[in-house]
Amino acid sequence: MKSHIAVLPSSGMGHIFPLFQLAKKLVLHHDVHVSFLVITTEASAAQNQFLQSSAAVLPDLTIINLPPADVSNFITGDMRLATQLSIITRESLKPLKHILMELNPMSLVIDIFTTDAIDVCKELSIPVYSFFTASTVLLPFSLYLPMLDREVEGEFVDLPAPVEIPGCRSMRTEDLLDQVKDRKNDDYKWFLLHVSRLPNTSGIFLNAWEDLDPVRLKALNETPFFKNIPTPPIYPVGPLVKETDETLTEKDAQIIAWLNTQPPESVLYVSLGSGGTLSSKQIIELAHGLEMSQQRFILVARKPTDANAYAAFFSVGKDRENDPSAYFPDGFLDRTRGVGLVVPAWARRWRC
């Protein structure tokens, strides 16, 4: 009988993709059966399209949709992203115990926003591993944050010197994660809660490899502070990237053909991720900067919003009416034609 592992990402393509790639590797290269648990509450169109596509069809990988949860009484329009994700996850995972009892996996892989599953798995004696989908730079800081929270009064951004992280390079206060720049906001409280649970896992997977960031990996494994937390074993399992086994669309083929005519390593790729959105002023400034640089570029563009930077997070893939000429500076598309490409709304990673 094959080993059975459950994988539980939070919402958002930046979490779905890497955990799905991990699931595929386990199935294809380690002869494991994987149950991929999907939070469907407030799921974006892009998430649904991907999980229903042929790329998501794989023997021994079962996609299990968690029942949608009613979060209308908990979510407000002024909430920041981490708070919304955490509340959606909390409400969506209420049936998790029953689901895991039926599946009976040998372990569960979570991500940073699905740490509510740790208590459930402890009750069921199921080992939990966390896939830290962010950078290796952020992991030592995240593990250090509970100590920082206890020792520092006031805002971290007001500290007179950079934050000293044991065994690692110091971090400038202006470079701190948005979620920790305002300790009074719920975003900070949720992020602190999630990272404080990381030591309770059986291991942490990183989408990295030893040679990518040897200093921080050594610090995590050898520095007394991290050993005494104690930090669970760190497993660099990267690089995990999206497989290129999908059928290319006509638009994909046009972009690859254009790339193949450019000099090697000459094209700048500009993308804000699956949910990132610029304001009207920011996208105009970005366009001016690209044009003045005279640099070849591919720019993944989404309609700007002046509401908040994460306005598109839960709607990515839904907007089919995206005309870049409506929000870029007059003449920008014509003046940069041949030098750059603007891809509306969504892009895959191309290799050529």
- The catalytic residues are 15, 111
Question: Cβ distance 209 to 156 under 8 Å?
Answer: no
Q: What's phi and psi for 332, nearest 5 deg?
A: -60, -45
Angle in degrees, 0-180, between the axes of helices 81-92 and 186-196, rounded to the nearest 10: 60
Give residue 272's identity as a one-letter amino acid code: L
Question: Cβ distance 88 to 71 under 8 Å?
Answer: yes
Beta strands (DSSP E) in the chain are 3-8, 32-39, 61-66, 107-110, 128-132, 203-206, 234-236, 267-270, 296-301, 340-344
C-alpha to C-alpha distance for 256 and 270, rounded to whole angstroms = 16
Give residue 157's identity as a one-letter amino acid code: V
SS3 93: coil
HSE-up (13 A, CA, CB side) for residue 218: 8
Angle in degrees, 0-180, between the axes of helices 138-151 and 186-196, rounded to the nearest 10: 110
The sign of the dihedral angle between the CA atoms of 173, 239, 190, 119 is: negative
Q: 345 Cβ partners below 8 Å, 6+ apart?
A: 300, 301, 302, 316, 317, 319, 320, 322
- Per-residue DSSP letter, 126: -
C-alpha to C-alpha distance for 280 and 286, rounded to whole angstroms = 10
Using DSSP bridges, classify how beta strands 234-236 and 203-206 pair: parallel, antiparallel or unpaired: parallel
Give residue 53's identity as a one-letter amino acid code: S
HSE-up (13 A, CA, CB side) for residue 83: 17
| CA 250 remoteness from chain centre | 28
